[in-house]
Chain A
Amino acid sequence: MEIKGEHEFSGPKELLYELLLDPDVLAGALPGVERFEEIAPDTYESTMRVGIASVRGTYTGRVEVLEQAPPDSYRLKIDGSGKPGGVRADASVELTENGPGTTMHYRADVKARGTIARLGGRLLGGVARLLIGQFFKSIEQQVDDRAA
């Protein structure tokens, strides 16, 4: 399944790039994150709790940041699994200047397995959008805090 979209942020792209790859910021901004640790350079392990319908559960996963080209783009490889199954995603993120703000374009190829794929498959897009929305809101807040 492909999930893609764009989002407008108020700050400059250099700031956004920094925030989006700061483990402490991510730990605070990702919804339901209970743990977010750097286990190797640009590789993180996290535990995340999702409380939505048939994809409800605790997931442990690994995030790798690849192809970093600050402040324009990077790629993420995500592999998470929990009792309801697992999700693997390959995501690319691009930041472009948009006046004083920044536009983020994101695109992810998501592969689900287990109950998530079977029962949650049709929820997955919606759940992802919900979580991504929460994440962006939180990043927005951080941008505003830095600007303040």
Chain B
Amino acid sequence: MTIADGPALPKLIGERVKRREDPRLIQGQATYVDDIKLPGMLHLAFKRSDIAHGVIRSIDTSAAAAMEGVELVITGAELAEHLGPMPIGTPFPAPDHYSVATDKVRYVGEPVAVVVAEDRYLARDAADAIEVEYDELPAVVDPEAAMEAGSATLHEGFERNIAVESYWGGTGVNPETAQPEDDSAVDAAFAEADVVVSQRMLNQRLAPNAMEPRGVVAHYEPGREYLTVWSATQNPHILRTLVAALMGLGEHQVRAVAPEVGGGFGCKINIYGEEYVAAALSRLVKAPVKWIEDRTEAFLTTTHGRDLLGYIDLAAKNDGTITGLKARIIADIGAYEVLLTAMIPTLTGLMMNGVYRLPVVRHELTEVFTNKTPTDAYRGAGRPEGLYFLERAVDMVARELGMDPAEIRRKNFVPPDEFPFATQGGLVYDSGNYEPCLDKALEVADWQGLLAERDAARAEGRIVGVGLSFYVEVCGLGPSAVVPTGGWEHSGVTVERGGKVTATTGASPHGQGNETTFAQMLADHFSIPLEDITILHGDTSVVKQGIGTFGSRSQAVGGAALISAAGKAGDKMKQFAAALMTDQEVSPEDLVFEDGRIQVEGAPEVSKTFAEVADYAYVPVPLPPGMEPGVSEEAFFEPENNTYPFGCHISMVEVDRDTGETKLLKLIAVDDCGNVINPLIVDGQVHGGLAQGIGQAMFEEVVYDEDGQPVTASFMDYVMPRAADLPVFELDRTVTPTPINPLGAKGVGEAGTIGSTPCVVNAAVDALAPFGVTHIEMPLRPERMWRLINEGGQS
């Protein structure tokens, strides 16, 4: 019996481990979609509508088709013979939506024809040479006006441009009539309230702006009847399912690959027309084809986020007890429903319970078509909107009552002994302990000190404000009952010869660092070095099944699947180890993984190395009775519920009296995402989320003019947060594990985006409160702030 005297391996979960993804990325060696070149590859360019709404009268492709090097020019109507309308992933009624418009255009940027040419410049030239004539229709731009009788309509069968209407609350909705059975409790709560705040608020339209634009390479091999699609997507398995369906292929005939993906933030969940078109045209022209989006196209055609108008009423008693909420929400979803469009705004109302005991709620939601780019998920996807409305309203009540914003929240918290907590909307919060998180945030920020600093600054004539928000969000999407694509995740774990481990995950990352965190988990699980582990993802021919990365689900669902598969592989390793140690009468249940060995717990002298056991598993002589050779296991993990992380954000802003420019002086974020696998990566996720939430509060907005022309379609006009716009964020954590998965991890990808937006706007309103300001619409543009300083009131 030999004992390998390897070094003791430190536990890696919870450690600051440098990312294993980085060496290729910092040396320019990673492969993004645009880096892929295939022999004989042709290039696509799209002719897009430059009007918001109109009927296509004629398309003249002759000049384009005559250009040397142009392989094919095809219009939407012609393409419709090869591609049906695009599928969506929600159960709501939706109008037909073709990859390329067939008869009518409904937003600026909607494709009307496609060119296939030998090179990218030529394809662009040819697309520019296509002449399209339209019979223009009035553009529907304002969602409230869109619902009025007499408004132009986008789609037949959708009267007054209404896509979805829902109503819930009171003491319940009759499912037969969809009407509230008894709404009197809501009206009574408002009638009996000491204070009611009512505010119309816009959670404005944003462009996700992943730095890598979208792109696709499709290669249909006619002899094999096999399609490979490389795409900048967050979910290659969903891509495979939908492309196969639209192409009339089986999933066994399609391989989808998400190579290196340069950010997603929700906008790369949707499967877009360009992906279907690339697949169809590759089959048609019998060559690989590539399309890479430029930034202007991204602004016009990649899904936008948010754009919810809220009429919010919040009722409270004089002691700060919140007694009721009414929310009427109008979602401007743009011209079409794409993959998850109609579902996103439904999350807003559900999350408007926040961290509070809210006795009664009435919620009305209307989703409206307008002549704008379709909306879909954008980091936070429904939650930032809801938490913004709620946390602004709670702040307004506090101001009305002269209460400290921290104390009004403390007063209304769901107490820790009430978890799991069922909300008015029917969600069940898994775990929560809000007060320690609030206290830690107040301590880290030195809340009283901040208030004193603000007052001192005001005494000097400066315009300074502090703000606070407390959010809860929902992570770990599924379960399958609520995610139309399926809400599980899949993982495979193979112990290779020599004791190395290859694992696959369907949670396809695009910056989240799963190759590192998942390897940390396996290193601890098997007690082997990190270097002995490879995590593979993003290729449906390697990763057997999967859903994808969105809704902060990588760790809570994907990680749980990984641990489940690792458990199965570990069990088999222990069985092989026990078989190798039959002379010592070892039972698999007695074995543990320890420093590269499989040993009897507490008796390291009775052991085999991990590598020895792995080698035996592949040359199992003799084969233990009842066992198959090899160690390659897989698992699906179906979460029984979502996870509900929470946190408290505090900020301080100063507004320049002369220019109206707002400067964010401080931002403190204390987040609770349950157990943390890698604090370095969690901090990075929070930082990025904060920047995007702050971006919404201060800088970003997609603007259309009254004709539906987008006027913020480049980085010249759409203001992205830059390094000098942001302060050094101060982070801390509390840890309240979730009982929903074996890791106790809740998810953290979107948290920063959710808490920071209301936090910063609350601070800005506080700054301008001495001028009589009670609400400020986002973003905090200098011009808007200057007017409020000089004219008072609301914006």
List A residues at the B interface (Cβ < 8 Å): 1, 83, 85-86, 111-115, 117-119, 121-122
Residues of B within 8 A of A121 (CB): 705, 709, 711, 717
- B707 and A122: CB pair below 8 A? no
CA A118 to CA B717, docked complex, whole Å? 9
Counting chain B CB atoms within 10 Å of each CB, which of A1, A112, A121 scores highest?
Answer: A121
Evaluate whether A119 and B50 lie within 8 angstroms (CB atoms) in the complex, with A83-B128, A111-B707, A113-B709 already known: no
**0/1 per residue, B695-733, Cβ < 8 Å to A?**
000000000010101110110110000000000000000
**B50 and A85: CB pair below 8 A?**
yes
Interface of A is mostly: mixed
Q: Cα distance A111–B299 when bound, in Å?
A: 20
Chain B interface SS verdict (over half): loop
B790 at interface by CB-CB < 8 Å: no
B716 with A119: CB separation less than 8 A: yes
CB within 8 Å for A118 and B128 given contacts A113-B51, A113-B108 = no
Whether B707 lies near A118 (C-beta < 8 A) is no
Whose C-beta in chain B lies nearest to the C-beta of A81?
B50
Residue of B nearest to A117 (CB): B709
Q: Is the Cβ of A114 less than 8 Å from the Cβ of B50?
A: yes
Give the B interface residue count (CB, 8 A).
16
Cα–Cα, bound, A83→B127 (Å):
11
Q: Is the CB of B711 within 8 A of A117?
A: yes
Instruction: Say whether B51 contacts A119, CB under 8 Å.
Output: no
Q: Which 7 A-B pairs have the closest CB atoms?
A: A114-B50, A117-B709, A118-B713, A113-B50, A121-B711, A85-B50, A113-B51
Task: List 13 extra interface pairs beyond A111-B709, A118-B711, CB under 8 A.
Answer: A83-B128, A113-B50, A117-B50, A117-B705, A117-B707, A117-B710, A118-B296, A118-B300, A118-B713, A119-B296, A119-B716, A121-B717, A122-B711
Task: Please give the residue numbers on chain B whose beta carbons come within 8 Å of chain A beta carbons, in ascending order.
Answer: 50-51, 108, 128, 296, 299-300, 705, 707, 709-711, 713-714, 716-717
B294 to chain A, nearest CB (A): 12
Could you list some 19 contacts between A and B, CB below 8 A?
A1-B705, A83-B128, A111-B709, A113-B51, A113-B707, A117-B50, A117-B108, A117-B710, A117-B711, A118-B299, A118-B300, A118-B709, A118-B710, A119-B296, A119-B713, A121-B705, A121-B717, A122-B711, A122-B717
- CB neighbours (8 Å) of A111 from chain B are 707, 709
Residues of chain A lying within 8 A (CB to CB) of residue B705: 1, 117, 121
Q: How far is the CA of A83 from the CA of B125 in the complex (A)?
A: 10
Nearest Cβ distance between residue A85 and chain B, in whole angstroms? 5
Provide the bound-state CA to CA distance between A116 and B300, in Å: 14
* Residues of the A chain whose Cβ atoms lie less than 8 Å from the Cβ of B50: 85-86, 113-115, 117
Q: Contact: B714 with A119, CB < 8 Å? A: yes
Most B C-beta atoms less than 10 A away, residue of A86, A113, A114, A121: A113
Q: Which residues of A contact B709 (CB under 8 A)?
A: 111-113, 117-118, 121
Q: Measured between C-beta atoms, what is the minimum distance from A59 to chain B in Å?
A: 14
Q: Please give, as numbers and ranges, the residues of chain A lying within 8 Å of B108 by CB-CB distance.
A: 113, 117-118
Residue numbers in A under 8 Å from B711 (CB-CB): 117-118, 121-122
Q: How many angstroms between the C-alpha atoms of A122 and B714 in the bound complex?
A: 12
Closest to A111 in B: B707
- What is the bound-complex CA distance between A118 and B108, given in angstroms? 10
**B717 / chain A contacts, CB cutoff of 8 Å:** 121-122
Once the chains are docked, how many angstroms separate the CA of A112 from the CA of B51?
Answer: 9
What are the residues of chain A within 8 A of B51 when measuring CB–CB?
113
Question: Within 8 Å CB of A112, what residues of B?
Answer: 709
Bound-complex Cα distance A86 to B711 (A): 14
Contacts of B714 in A (CB 8 A): 118-119
Which A residue sits closest to B705, measured CB to CB? Answer: A117
Q: Which residue from chain A places its CB closest to the CB of B129 in the assembled complex?
A: A83
Residue of A nearest to B709 (CB): A117
Q: In the complex, what's the smallest C-beta–C-beta distance from A42 to chain B, in angstroms?
A: 23
The complex places the Cα of A118 from the Cα of B300 at a distance, in Å, of 10
Bound-state Cα–Cα, A85 to B705, Å? 16
CA of A85 to CA of B710, assembled, Å? 13
Q: Roughly how many angstroms separate A122 CA and B709 CA in the complex, as a whole number?
A: 13
In the bound complex, what is the Cα–Cα distance between A96 and B128 (angstroms)?
45
